[in-house]
Amino acid sequence: MELIRKKTIAKYGTAMSDILREIRRWITECEDPPDISEIMQKTEDVFFCSDLAIEAEIDEISHIVRQIFERASCKYGILEKYLNDPSINEIMVNGPGMIFVEQDHELLMLDDAYLSEEELEETIRMFASDVHREINEANPIVDARLPSGYRVNGVLKTVALNGPILTIRKFREKPIEMDELVEGGTITEECADVLKKLVFCGYNIFISGGTSSGKTTFLNALTASIDPSERVIIIEDSAELMITHLENKVHMECRSANSIGKGEVTMEQLIRTSLRMRPDRIIVGEVRGREVVDMVQAMNTGHDGDV
């Protein structure tokens, strides 16, 4: 497969960045937000007035103009079309020149790239600002949940040797139910029946597994067996669980420290405070550190039904 888009960016990335910068400046100076056709017209005008129009080969011009237009017209630039593609479950950007997606359970490298490390970092900062998180040299890592429910992890080049890293995990709008797991052959019907009874009766359950092995999906399916009359406290590092059938629920999320190192709320703190909320059950999305001690202590002091 010929990587046309990557080849174009490798040759003309710097010149394309200059054109894109001019178009974005024009957009911000407009009294009313320009529509798509106006942005396209401006992109063509700026391109054909630039030195790049002379340097580029004829068969490259349409690719260059299209790539600049995509960046200028979409909030998230080249990622917009992948975010809107329902067949894509995960987007992985390993530096400006390497973009992978998981599509229909297959890992694919895309013929696409960022113009520069700065453009990629700008995208990461935009995701962070959308959820009121900070990412800078002092705090080079952001882990957040978008309003759409997608989980975003970004790492700046100060700690990533191959350039800024961006990973976006997309989730289904409707969580998978236990019956779907049985139909798909993930578990047997007998196993599903036993698990439903264990959850309903309030047994403590641990779910473990590797990255992307389906832990959150499985936990969502299990929670459907919780009695709707119970009070449930849900604690997550980054909110992912979609539990819709419970009315008496409290959903809490950890928070990172701000730029001056203040305001951090840890999983350990949330587990401790949940014990004072009169829970019938406590659901902890993920335990990786000291908070596991507090979770085991909660189980040991009579708080059954923990997951």
Q: Which residue has the higher pLDDT, 190 or 148?
A: 190
Select from 47, 97, 43, 52 the least CA-distant residue to 72. Answer: 43
Q: Number of C-alpha atoms within 13 angstroms, CB side, residue 95?
A: 8
pLDDT score recorded for residue 130: 87
Q: For residues 195 and 273, give the distance between their C-alpha atoms in angstroms, rounded to a whole number.
A: 28
Q: Which CATH number does the domain housing residue 105 bear? A: 3.30.450.370
Q: Looking at 122, 140, 170, which one is the last position of a domain?
A: 170
| pLDDT at 47 exceeding the cut of 80 | yes
| pLDDT at 303 exceeding the cut of 80 | no
Q: What is the pTM of this model?
A: 0.76
Domain presence at residue 252: yes
Percent of the chain with pLDDT over 70: 96
Determine how many CB atoms are found less than 10 A away from the CB of residue 267.
24
Question: Same domain, yes or no, for 198 and 289?
Answer: yes
Question: Same domain, yes or no, for 203 and 292?
Answer: yes
- Across residues 40-65, what is the average pLDDT? 94
Please state the domain count of the chain.
3
Q: Looking at 73, 91, 122, which one is the last position of a domain?
A: 73
Say which DSSP state 202 is in.
T
Kindly report the average pLDDT of the chain as a whole number.
Answer: 88
Domain presence at residue 21: yes
Domain presence at residue 305: no
Q: Enumerate residues 6+ apart whose C-beta is below 8 A from 29.
A: none
| pLDDT at 305 exceeding the cut of 60 | no
Q: Looking at 73, 90, 119, which one is the last position of a domain?
A: 73
Q: For residues 83 and 142, give the distance between their C-alpha atoms in angstroms, rounded to a whole number.
A: 19
Domain containing 221: what range?
Answer: 178-300
Select from 162, 287, 278 the least CA-distant residue to 219. Answer: 287
Question: Same domain, yes or no, for 166 and 187?
Answer: no
pLDDT score recorded for residue 186: 87
pLDDT score recorded for residue 301: 63
